[in-house]
Amino acid sequence: MTNKPLSPHISASPQDFASTVLMPGDPLRSKMIAEKFLTNAKLVNNVRGVQGYTGSYLGKRVSVMGSGMGMPSIGIYSFELFNFSEVSSIIRVGSAGAIDPDLELFDIVLGQGACTDSNYFNSFGIHGSFAPIADYGLLSQAVAQCESRNYRYRVGNLLSSDVFYQAGGVEVTLKWREVGVLAVEMEAAALYMNAAAAGKKALAICTISDLLEQKKEISSQERETSFLQMIEVAMNIAED
């Protein structure tokens, strides 16, 4: 492979990335993850402030880079990493709002699948609906990590929504609990679709930051500290 940058959006060369990339939505959180978890972390991308780092975690090479908010944004970055480099796995680490009433703040949700209200799949030119799912190997390892650490977690469907502020209010989103959806976020479905099309692996690990029905949320400071559990899980299942 050459030293040519991946794309206009990623200035790093293909070999700058490890096999596994963790993707938080917030580019600044990628900096925090690199500082707290990686040794010898090197900034490999900063185009448009989307910070990407590669370093070492317990002897294995791991990368972390922000995805931005929403399916169009993670759609671009995950497509380019899956198709223009040797990245084989992307693990989304982000926040989610609880739809299931049994979820509590700080719980971890492992996205076995991702429902969506988006038209993202139409770009694939395939007639019909597609059920975006996680890689089973990553999912099963994440379950084992949560079990061994006694973390509160659930496995099930996420809702990847194109809309943050629903015109019909939170009740529109809560309707998804009628079909067993656990929580809402904005990226997993596009990530899973891109992974499937590229023959690669993906998993979304989310921490509950909001209880939609109760209108409760964790503070920005709590987000930084409470998210460390899911990042630890993701780091430990990253493939070298």
Q: Please, are residues 142 and 134 in contact by the beta-carbon 8 Å criterion? A: no
Burial of 206 (0-12, 13-18, 19+ CB in 10 A): buried
In whole angstroms, what is the distance from residue 223 CA to residue 87 CA? 28
CA atoms within 13 A on the CB side of 145: 21
Please give the full DSSP string across 200-233, using - where no structure is assigned: -EEEEEEEEEEETTTTEE--HHHHHHHTHHHHHH
Catalytic machinery residues: 210
